[in-house]
């Protein structure tokens, strides 16, 4: 399911920002800004910290474009807090400054179409889950009016390229501000 050109699904969920938990975090707090919302499978995994550090190292590039970065997984806010206190050399993300949303119920991942499987009923009519009940690597760029302008979803093992996300953000902003189209391999000067 594509969310492009649709209103981004809103949510209210706990998010860890630094060493604090914001219980009712929502994207509406960033009204008027571009939002790069990314989903990742789970805390303490082998690939995820590399993406977190790549985002953190380029955070100023996003901020200079009027964009914020928000991460989301099905882990608890308690797990996020522990991971945020774990040093980088121990597979942790200590020092990450952008929000980490907790999606324990998997409703956010479901609404964004990135849950790695589906709920179904078995032959006895019992609710079951087919696949992996964790988020795929979904990346969404949401414009200042709350419309999804870009969506990319990768398998669990394929990490994101931050330069590609910045290029998409630049292209979206160029079109929205100047009406200019972006051809193949276009890059901001």
At 28, is the secondary structure helix, strand, or coil?
helix
The secondary structure of residue 52, as a DSSP letter, is H
Tokens of 30: 């960033």
Active site residue 48: yes
Task: Report the DSSP beta bridge partners of residue 20.
Answer: 17
Catalytic site residue from 36, 37, 48, 108: 48
Q: Which residues contact residue 91 at a Cβ distance below 8 angstroms, ignoring those fewer than 6 apart? A: 44, 46, 49
Q: Please calculate the CA angle 73-118-168 and round it to the nearest 5 degrees.
A: 50
How many Cβ atoms are within 10 Å of 140's Cβ, its own excluded? 25
The catalytic site residues sit at: 48
């Amino acid at each position: 399911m594509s969310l492009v050109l649709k209103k981004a699904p809103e949510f209210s969920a706990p998010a860890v920002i630094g060493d604090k938990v914001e219980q009712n975090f929502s994207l509406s707090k960033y009204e008027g800004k571009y939002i790069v919302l990314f989903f990742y499978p789970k805390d303490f995994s082998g690939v995820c910290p590399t993406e977190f550090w790549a985002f953190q190292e380029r955070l100023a590039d996003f901020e200079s474009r009027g964009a914020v970065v928000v991460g989301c997984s099905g882990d608890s806010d308690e797990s996020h807090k522990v991971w945020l206190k774990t040093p980088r050399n121990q597979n942790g993300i200590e020092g990450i400054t952008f929000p980490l949303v907790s999606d324990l119920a998997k409703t956010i991942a479901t609404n964004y179409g990135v849950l790695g499987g589906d709920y179904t009923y078995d032959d006895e009519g019992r609710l079951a889950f087919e696949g992996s009940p964790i988020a795929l690597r979904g990346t969404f760029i949401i414009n200042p009016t709350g419309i999804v302008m870009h969506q990319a979803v990768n398998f669990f093992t394929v990490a994101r390229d931050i330069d590609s996300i910045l290029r998409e953000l630049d292209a979206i902003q160029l079109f929205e501000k100047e009406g200019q189209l972006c051809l193949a391999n276009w890059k901001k000067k």
